[in-house]
Structure 1
């Protein structure tokens, strides 16, 4: 699956990268990424996840060829 991160997550991960491990759902993906970069755990907990440009829940079942965007919370006016 292809992962693309935005904003402050680029401080912890490449902007786009591929994961070959078998990850079943968004919750498992959060755990996997937190294990890879523990310092990003807090941010990952508050991010929204989109699969093929549609926001999904934490229980969304991932497929091998999914394209996942991880979007941190933003503030502004």
Structure 2
């Protein structure tokens, strides 16, 4: 699966990277990313995940071929 991150998450991860680990759900992906970089844990708890340009819940089942976007909370003006 291909993971893409934005904003503050780019300080913890590459902007875009491939993930080869067997991960079944978005919840498992969130946990995996926290393990890979514990400093990102607080931000990851607040992030939304999108698969194929659609927001999904933590229960969403992954096949391993997805493009996943991790979007942290943001404020604008």
Partner of 2:67: 67
Q: Deviations over 1:5-63 (max 9, x none)?
A: 00000000000000001000000001000000000000000000000100000100011
Pairing 1:1-77 to 2, within 5 Å after superposition: 1-77=1-77
Distance 1:10 1:29 in 2: 17
Paired residues in the alignment total 77
TM-score by length of 1: 0.98
Distance 1:26 1:33 in 2: 10
**Consecutive aligned runs of 4 or more in structure 1 exceeding 4 Å deviation:** none
Residue aligned with 1:55, SS: strand
TM-score by length of 2: 0.98
The unaligned stretches of length 5 or more in structure 1 are: none
Distance 2:59 2:12 in 1: 24
Distance 1:27 1:74 in 2: 21
